[in-house]
Amino acid sequence: MKKSFIYMIAAVAIASVLSSCDMNLKPTTSIAYVEGEPLMISDTDVSEFENGILSSYRGLFYGVHSQTQEVMVDYFNASADYGNNYGTVHRMDVDFTDQEYNTRDHWSGAYGSIKNYNIFIANADNVADDLKEYAQFVKGEALFCRASAYLHLARHFGKPYGSTSSTDLAVPLVLVYDQLDKPARATVAEVYAQVKADLDAAAAILASETGEARADYPTIDAVNAIYARYYLDIKDYANAASYAEKVINTGNYKLASTDEEMEAEYTNDKGTEPIIQMFANKTEGYGVNDIYTLVNNASDKGLNFRSYYFPTKKLVEAYEPEDLRFKHWFTNEIPNFVTGSYYEGQFYTFVKYYNNPALNSGNVPQARHARKPILISEMYLIAAEAYAQSGNAAKAKEMLNAIQTARHATLTEGTMDAVKNEWFKETVGEGLRLSCLKRWGDGIGARTPQDGCKNLIMQGAGFEQRVIPAGAPKLITWPVPTYEMQVNPNLVQNEGF
């Protein structure tokens, strides 16, 4: 079944996102989806649906799907030239409302993808005998993707899993495609239960699909990695550690531990850390995290940055000089053009997503990379946190030390403070810190800028001075988007919006 997935779904045109249009206005050239009628009559049909499913999954990573979370927390300061890009979520002030389009895109993107997963899952058994094996395999992929999408939605639009999860609202559970349905929000407990059910079903189907580094489709290792996320969220620490270590102990993945391996991993997309790395080429599939660099080529200065966001002092100073992450993810050797002048050497720019030259279409780096939804480092962090939370400091230390040794960082004990610090350093840019803060019940401190760019950032209560206390509504949940509230009277808005 292993292959690269290149093309978006082409064979079947299906109605758009949940509650997104009036089917009475359907153009006569569209192909109606009728529940129960066979949609796949050939191997090509199944293959094109598979490409569509994996393209939908791939589209939920990088860009708005990670940058939104990263600029909300304590990683970055807005440049004086940031142009209000991600401004409302960066400030988290009165302008952060249910009309916020960056958080809206997480909702609409996930539900647009879930629609595709649901349609295939509903039709996977309605195929000829010679297609059943292939269709069942793709069904396993679709179940994995749906579990991942709902876990992401629950983490951002619902409260953290806990004692009130049976009544706290998360997101609507939509498991059958019905354009006219107007579902109410399910509880946090119900959404997490569905994530578990989908993972169980996916695990049964994909059990023999052995993982490998940079696999471009879901394997059993990917399923186990999402299990680890799920169990960590619900505070089942024994299972969180167990599933994380299942992936670690396969030996299929290795943390980069040399300059050459870091270059292979974080520049050329040829490393050994991704549990999944989606297909990408120069024309299709790549992801872009460019707000940290925005490279320009000036006739007098050559390549230079026009960054919207600079790393905070806390982020830069979290690393030791010899830490491979500091050496490869930050630079002060390329000029940054801010407020009409060039600055070189005064402060650091975040370059974890600088560019893969093989995906570039010109002479200016465009922050293009193959999307990596799950990395092995996260499994070490999940295991470390699970052990620390359950009182096994020795095992937590073992997991942390594995990352620290690979990255050439000072070894620490297995305390929760050390675990939190390692999450902070290791996953910057990946969109995971916000869910970590919610899981821990932590707030966000002030975003003190690097000394060299104090006068080059946006300043004031919503910027470098902003402090978000633990439990603040806008930190805990994102708003249900305005349009969804308008078309679906059964939805209830989150507190604070």
H-helix segments, 337-410? 376-389, 393-406
Given strand 295-298, what is the order of strands in its sheet?
295-298, 302-305, 336-338, 341-343
Tell me how far CA of residue 422 lies from CA of 11, 29, 426, 436, in angstroms.
45, 54, 6, 12
CA separation for the pair 387, 398 (Å, rounded)? 10
470: its two tokens: 């633990």
Q: What is the pLDDT of residue 299?
A: 84
CATH fold label, 1-77+97-207+471-497? 1.25.40
Helix axes 220-233, 376-389, angle to 10 degrees: 30
CA separation for the pair 298, 141 (Å, rounded)? 46
Looking from the CA of 279 toward its CB, the CA atoms found within 13 Å total: 17
**What φ, ψ does residue 213 adopt, rounded to 5°?**
-60, 135
b/e burial code for range 8-43 (CB count within 10 A of at least 16 → b): ebebeebbebbbeeeeeeeeeeeeebeeeeebbeee
Q: How many residues does the chain have?
A: 497
Per domain, the residue ranges of the chain are 1-77+97-207+471-497, 279-369
CA separation for the pair 422, 48 (Å, rounded)? 41
Q: Are 68 and 103 in contact (CB under 8 A)?
A: yes
DSSP for residue 23: G
Report which residue type is found at 278.
M
Rounded to a whole number, what is the largest CA-CA distance in the chain? 68
CA separation for the pair 450, 120 (Å, rounded)? 50
Q: Which helix (H) or strand (E) holds 369?
A: strand 368-369
Q: Which helix (H) or strand (E) holds 338?
A: strand 336-338
| Residues whose CB falls within 8 Å of the CB of residue 198, separated by 6 or more in sequence, listed in order | 143, 144, 146, 147, 150
The gap from C-alpha 383 to its chain's centroid, in whole angstroms, comes to: 19
CA separation for the pair 433, 155 (Å, rounded)? 11
Q: Which among 141, 87, 175 is positioned nearest to 276, based on CA atoms?
A: 141
Mean pLDDT by 10 residues, the chain (497 residues): 39 36 40 69 95 97 98 98 98 96 97 97 95 98 98 98 98 94 97 98 98 98 98 98 98 98 98 98 96 94 96 98 98 97 97 97 95 98 99 98 98 98 98 98 98 98 97 97 97 96
Looking from the CA of 17 toward its CB, the CA atoms found within 13 Å total: 15
Looking from the CA of 403 toward its CB, the CA atoms found within 13 Å total: 29
Helix axes 416-426, 393-406, angle to 10 degrees: 30
| Residues whose CB falls within 8 Å of the CB of residue 24, separated by 6 or more in sequence, listed in order | none
Q: What is the pLDDT of residue 32?
A: 56
**What φ, ψ does residue 53 adopt, rounded to 5°?**
-60, -45
CB atoms within 10 A of CB 106: 23
**Model-level pTM?**
0.93
b/e burial code for range 122-150 (CB count within 10 A of at least 16 → b): bbbeebeeebeebbebbbbbbbbbbbbbb
Residue 342 three-state SS:
strand
Q: Are 195 and 154 in contact (CB under 8 A)?
A: yes
Tell me how far CA of residue 135 lies from CA of 125, 215, 258, 476, in angstroms.
7, 20, 42, 39
According to DSSP, the β-strands at 295-298 and 302-305 are: antiparallel
